[in-house]
Structures are given as C-alpha cells and as structure tokens.
Amino acid sequence: MLDTLCIERSGVPIYVQIRDQVLRAIGAGAIKPGERMPTMRQVAVALRIDLNTVRHAYDALARTGAITIQPARGTFVAEQPLATEPPAPPDRLDGLAYRTIASARANGIDPIDVAQRIILLEKRKDDRS
C-alpha cells in the first residue's frame, strides 16, 4: 500500500489526501478487509511527512469505520459488516450522503455523476466476485 500513496502540492491538506487515497484503495478492493495497514511511522517516513499528520489521517479513517486501530497489535482495514447486521440508521446514511455531495461540489463535480459512478463501481465489484 505504501507504494500507492503520494502527496500532491494541490492545497488539499496532506492528511485528507492520505485519508482519501486509503478510502479509494479500500473501495476498489486493493486493500482487503482484515489486511494490516502500514504503521503510522512507516507512512510518515515513506512520504517524508510529520508523524502527527499521518496520525490525523488514521484517526479520521478510524472515525469513519474504515480501519481499526488496535493498540500493541497494529492497524487493520475494518472487516465488512455481516449481511445479517441491520442496515445503517438513516441519519448516518444522510450524513455520509451530505458529506459526499459537499465533497463533489467542492471538486467541481456533479453529485449525480458521483452517485452513478458509485453504482457502476459497485456493480463491477460484484461481477468480479
């Protein structure tokens, strides 16, 4: 995973770039559920950035539920919820939807295009399974 991370001088905060790149890798299936993530120190050294920046990115990923940080064991991609678990509450889904809409608009992208792309990517993933 370390070889896929890169920092751009785009004005986007570095921790956001790391968070988004990890989320894309998880969404694309490049990083599998249960897979061990590189340590924060490894990422900081590889990207030549401050350790606290990586900690900020990992904390943001943990808050979203994408990764789990297990003290003394490591950081892992979160396991996918079981199909028998109840669906996410509507307010949690709405929050994610509003953040996605805001992010799309901030990047000059029509949110409808993002929704259609999500559906397409999810169908492709299902076809590969």
Residue 84: pLDDT band with limits 50, 70, 90:
very low
Residue 86: pLDDT band with limits 50, 70, 90:
low
93 or 75, which is more confident? 75
State pLDDT tens for residues 28-45.
788 899 999 999 999 999
pLDDT at position 129, please?
Answer: 56
Q: Is residue 64 scored above 90 in pLDDT? A: no
**What distance in Å separates the CA atoms of residue 15 and residue 12, rounded to the nearest whole number?**
9
Residues 22/25/26/27 CA torsion (nearest 10 deg): 120
Across 1-129, where does the E strand assignment appear?
67-70, 74-77
Residues 63/79/103/116 CA torsion (nearest 10 deg): -160
